[in-house]
Amino acid sequence: MISLCCSQVVRSRLGITGRPSAASEPTTRLGNWCVHLVRLGTRQLILATSERSLLTVILPARELRATIVGNLRIAAGQLLSAKNIPMDIVNRELAQMQPALIAPATNRRVLGSMNELAFHLEVRQDQ
């Protein structure tokens, strides 16, 4: 089990009103994931960052309600495989990423890292 610690913008986009309960203790090695919406001109992307490792994946923002958990699992699996992590560890991590609960994003270290990455994405797009 993991918590998707979503920014206010993402929670609004997911149709979550009010403030959800605090994040639960994760069962995965990567821990909970912080999720934030980034706008790059007319494109909208989702940054999802592991709280424990700062491993970050970029997801499409389109149809977020229906795809966030599935897209996160796929992207995390592809990235872990690309880093030559043994498949049994990757599969165990992906299996433990369900269920995923929604919680508010409160980890300032992770949010700062995500803002820095978003800045670099924006600069790179302008080049």
Helix then strand count (H, E) for the chain reads: 4, 5
User: Has residue 124 got a pLDDT over 90?
Assistant: no
Band (pLDDT 50/70/90 cuts) for residue 122 is: confident
CA–centroid distance for 103 within its chain: 12
Supply the pLDDT for residue 17: 84
Supply the pLDDT for residue 97: 96
What torsion, rounded to 10 degrees, do the Cα atoms 46, 50, 55, 56 define? Answer: 0
Supply the pLDDT for residue 32: 97
The residues near 56 (Cβ < 8 Å, ≥ 6 apart) are: 47, 48, 49, 50, 113, 114, 117
Mean residue pLDDT across the chain: 93
15-34 confidence digits (pLDDT tens): 998 878 889 999 999 999 99
Mean pLDDT computed over 97-102: 94
List the chain domain ranges: 2-126
Supply the pLDDT for residue 127: 64
- Which pTM was predicted? 0.92
